[in-house]
Structure 1
Amino acid sequence: MPARYFTLEEANALLPELEPVMAELLARRAKVVRQRHKIAPILDDPHGDMGGAAATEMALDFVRITELVEQVQAFGCLLKDLNTGLLDFLSERDGREVYLCWRYGEPRIEYYHELHTGFTGRQRY
């Protein structure tokens, strides 16, 4: 699949569609993290039911997380950090490739970074 380049305006226009997907994705991830601590002792019990309903629910959450990640990727952006909801959009600036960088909760895309620098190299657009 060829790379898609976004203008700042195009990437910002996608945020209203991406935000609810990211909200659910982050909520599901947080739920799985909470469940993990509850289910671990059950799974370690050789005489237990291997997690039963709790394990099934967690498996369904993992399936949904996978679906949500695929939805995000279908927009053409890159999910860089599931913990913080960090997305990158490939773009061009001054004749070079850069990533427009957005983190869930930010009102709009206002930052970019070089391909090799990552989040720590963010600069205001």
Structure 2
Amino acid sequence: MTRLFTLDEANAQLPRVQALLTELQEARRIILTARPDLEPVLRKAGTNGGSRRAGEMLAEFTRVELALAGLRAIGCVVKDVDPGLIDFLHRFPDGREVYLCWRQGEERIEFWHEVQAGFAGRRRLV
């Protein structure tokens, strides 16, 4: 569930967000690397009740789901997994809701953008 964050609250969540994002990216990489093999494995699984490779992929899909559930529980919004773009809903003093925008590799949140603008509309916090 999305919630409103102060800048300090959002920054305090970054270590947990980073850990969950790394878990999500690793599981996703494994799945995408194995994707060419999934069709024959899934076809074979229908006749013999499964295979080790199908079971391994199930574990990776479970990792993806658990990481996404963890991020949702924090209340942030995953915008793009590959570059690690995460937004935190924030209300400016004038009442306008915006996103505090963090990209994996940044130490702190230093940018924001309008809710409809996306990453291209990032502006530095003053």
Alignment TM class, shorter chain as reference: 0.7 to 0.9
CA distance in structure 2 between the partners assigned to 1:110 and 1:10 by the alignment: 13
SS in 1 for 2:24: helix
- 1:28 corresponds to 2:27: yes
TM-score, structure 2 as length reference? 0.84
How many equivalent residue pairs?
124
Opposite residue 98 of structure 2, the aligned amino acid is V
Q: How does 1:5-84 map to 2 (within 5 A)?
A: 5-43=4-42, 52-84=51-83
Structure 1 residue runs without a partner (length 5+): none
Please tell me whether the aligned partners of residues 99 and 113 of structure 1 are also in contact (alpha carbons under 8 angstroms).
yes
Unaligned runs of 5+ in 2: none
CA-based RMSD: 2.3
Contact in 1 for aligned 2:113/2:119 (Cα 8 Å): yes
Matched letter for residue 67 of structure 1: L
2:99: which partner in 1? 99
Give the direction of change, closer, same or farther, for the CA distance of 1:30–1:98 in structure 2 (3 Å limit). same
Query: Structure 1 length as normaliser, TM-score?
Result: 0.85
Whether 1:90 aligns to 2:112 is no
| CA distance, structure 2, for counterparts of residue 20 and residue 119 of structure 1 | 22
Deviations 1:49-75 (A, max 9, x none): 697211221122111211110001101
**Structure 2: which amino acid aligns with 1:61?**
E
